[in-house]
Amino acid sequence: MSNQPTELAAASRAAENLRAELGRRRLSGRELSRLMGAPAASVNRWCSGATPMSLDVLVRVAGALEIPVTVLLEGTERAADQPEAASA
């Protein structure tokens, strides 16, 4: 059984959160593509939600923006509510 509606909602939310983060930083998709070393067309598709971001892409985007992946998955408000992971 597929969770397609849930997966589509999560992909849409990740794209929305990515656009919001880029807006907060006043970065363009082209600038993100340069930071990531990814094609600008791919970044544009991720930002628009036309192509869902894989886990690998989410990690790469978060790394390029120096943010936790949870910001892309949950948004800054929800990510801010999460306790920091304990370091070992």
Q: Which CATH number is 42's domain given?
A: 1.10.260.40
- Whether residue 84 is contained in a domain is answered as no
- Residue-by-residue DSSP string for the chain: ---HHHHHHHHHHHHHHHHHHHHHHT--HHHHHHHHT--HHHHHHHHHTSSPPPHHHHHHHHHHHT--HHHHHH-HHHHHHSPPPPP-
Domains contained in the chain, number? 1
- Whether residue 30 is contained in a domain is answered as yes
pLDDT digits (tens, 9 = 90+) for 29-55: 999 999 999 999 999 999 999 999 999
User: How many residues in the chain?
Assistant: 88
- Whether residue 87 is contained in a domain is answered as no
Closest CA to 47 of 76, 8, 20: 20
Instruction: Give residue 61's domain range.
Output: 4-71
What is the C-alpha end-to-end distance of the chain, expressed in Å? 38
Q: Does residue 85 carry a pLDDT above 70?
A: no
- Whether residue 58 is contained in a domain is answered as yes
Which percentage of the chain shows pLDDT scores above 90? 69
pLDDT digits (tens, 9 = 90+) for 12-35: 899 999 999 999 999 999 999 999
Model pLDDT, residue 75 = 84
User: What is the average pLDDT value for the chain, to the nearest integer?
Assistant: 85
